[in-house]
Amino acid sequence: MSKSQIITGLDIGSDTIKILSARENPKTEELEVVFFERMDSFGVQKGRVGNPKEVAEKVSQILDKFPKSSSRIEQVFVNVNGSKIQLVPNRGLISVSPANQKVCQEDIDRILEETQNISLPSNREVFDIFPKTWILDGEAELKKPLGLQGVRLELEAFLLSIFALDIENIIEAVGEAGLEVESVLPSPLAASNAVLDRRQKELGVAVLDIGACTSGLTVYEEGNLMDLAVFPVGSANITNDIAIGLKTEIDIAERIKREFSSCAETKKTGKRKIEIGAKAISVNIKGSRSNLQAKEEIKKDYLNFSQKQVKKIIEARVDEIFELAQKELKKIGRQELLPAGIVLTGGGVKLPGIVDVSKKVLKLPSRIGYARGFVGLEKDCSLATVCGLIIESKKGDFPKNHFFSGVKSHGIWRKVKNILKPFVP
């Protein structure tokens, strides 16, 4: 990242779309925020872009708020999400080039390409590769085989498989907003890189990113990605449960979740009252009605509930999310076996007492994770993904593959169409 270059991350979520622009301070190496804005999301279902045009409209509205004094945003690093993201194990094998019988970069490139040869359904693509174990002449657990002498090189790796249409829809949405996609990164990986450090990844750690409609789990050990899974459940499910359980509107249920919900034990289990649109109703009450009728109508606009009742509703759904994470950890043999514990992040972990639930269900050290290294940004766990996109761009570790071969031309063509639009009959 150059001294003056502004890097922009675009987090397209089911509930909220966020755009964050920052530049690196060359003296402190901290990321100074130039612009940040969020807006309610439309056109996204379960983390996946379903209607690119609706997403593009929201992105354009956010871009209109970008300060005129700053350089216009043209390229973005964007996330991809949804339960269609899968991690598939595979193995590659090659013979080392006989020139000097030492592993060279060409050998590394060949085996990486060989390992990605896997049969997948026609609508899925290998998005990226994550080396797990290098093996040279039967000697395993090598970190870097480059330059070592040997004959037979093997690689055990994980292939990240993604539904091709998801990427195409993201590229279309961003292009419709007049931007170019610099690269794409799965949300769980972006969030992990925002809240973890190298030591945690070496020791063994998991990150659970609870969003509105999905929850992403990533697991690291010895510095390598060991597992990635996305569950189709999130904090919006808690809101829906409250709406059904208390027989109220979804907006009121969301308010109850934000203001009164807790996973923690509390002695305050008495009745609470929450006002529902009383102002609008009082305007409609006319002189023809008696005071008694008015009082009765206003009374209907108050919802009585107990803290204990709400706690019971949300506890069932929160337990489900952690049980899904526990099942995934058990599948890879890391149940209760991560020294650095689990880091919770995402907007869904703002519920009081959720760390205690995590400890109880997962039996691991647990804490809330926030993005680090940003100046001028609020401390908010829901910003982990958008911050992680910028952090990853700084590291230069974004996957480079054929998905992006036509992205820049797509963005240029979009600009040309916008220029010609007034002249089209």
Contact 20, 386 (CB under 8 A): yes
Positive or negative CA dihedral for 273, 278, 282, 288?
Answer: negative
The residues near 288 (Cβ < 8 Å, ≥ 6 apart) are none
* 178 within a domain of the structure (yes/no): no
- From 160, 111, 133, 344, select the one nearest 222 (Cα to Cα): 133
List Cβ neighbours of 233 (8 Å cut-off, separation of 6 or more).
213, 214, 215, 317, 320, 321, 324
**377's tokens:** 């940004």
Whole-structure pTM value:
0.86
Report how many domains make up the chain: 1
Is residue 255 within 8 Å of 274, Cβ to Cβ?
yes
**The pLDDT of residue 274:** 56
pLDDT confidence of residue 182: 92
HSE-CB at 99 with a 13 A cutoff on CA atoms is: 8
Mean pLDDT per 10-residue segment, the chain (425 residues)? 76 96 89 95 94 97 86 90 93 89 92 93 91 93 87 95 94 95 95 96 97 97 96 96 92 87 65 48 37 50 78 94 98 96 97 95 97 94 96 71 43 43 43
Residue 156 carries which side chain, given as an amino acid letter? E
Could you tell me the residue range of the domain that residue 129 belongs to? 86-164
Average pLDDT along the chain: 85
User: What percent of the chain has pLDDT above 90?
Assistant: 68
Q: How far apart are CA 111 and CA 106, in angstroms?
A: 9
Whether residue 114 is contained in a domain is answered as yes
Q: Is 248 helix (H, G, I), strand (E, B) or coil?
A: coil
In a domain, 132, yes or no: yes
Q: How far apart are CA 238 and CA 152, in angstroms?
A: 53
The single residue listed with the structure tokens 């009959």 is 425
For residue 120, is it within any domain? yes
Residue 288's φ and ψ, nearest 5 degrees, are -70, -15
In a domain, 94, yes or no: yes
Give the integer Cα–Cα distance in Å for 367 and 365.
7
pLDDT value for 338: 97
Tens of pLDDT, residue by residue over 161-207, are 999 999 999 999 999 999 999 999 999 999 999 999 999 999 999 99
Q: What is the pLDDT of residues 346-374, one digit of tens each?
A: 999 999 999 999 999 999 999 999 999 99
Residue 395 pLDDT: 73
DSSP labels, 95-118: EPPTTTSB--HHHHHHHHHHHT--
Query: Is 149 a member of any domain?
Result: yes
* Residue 292 within a domain: no
Note the pLDDT of residue 407.
44
CATH of the domain at 132: 3.30.1490.110
Is 272 domain-assigned? no
- Pairing mode of beta strands 342-345, 205-210: parallel
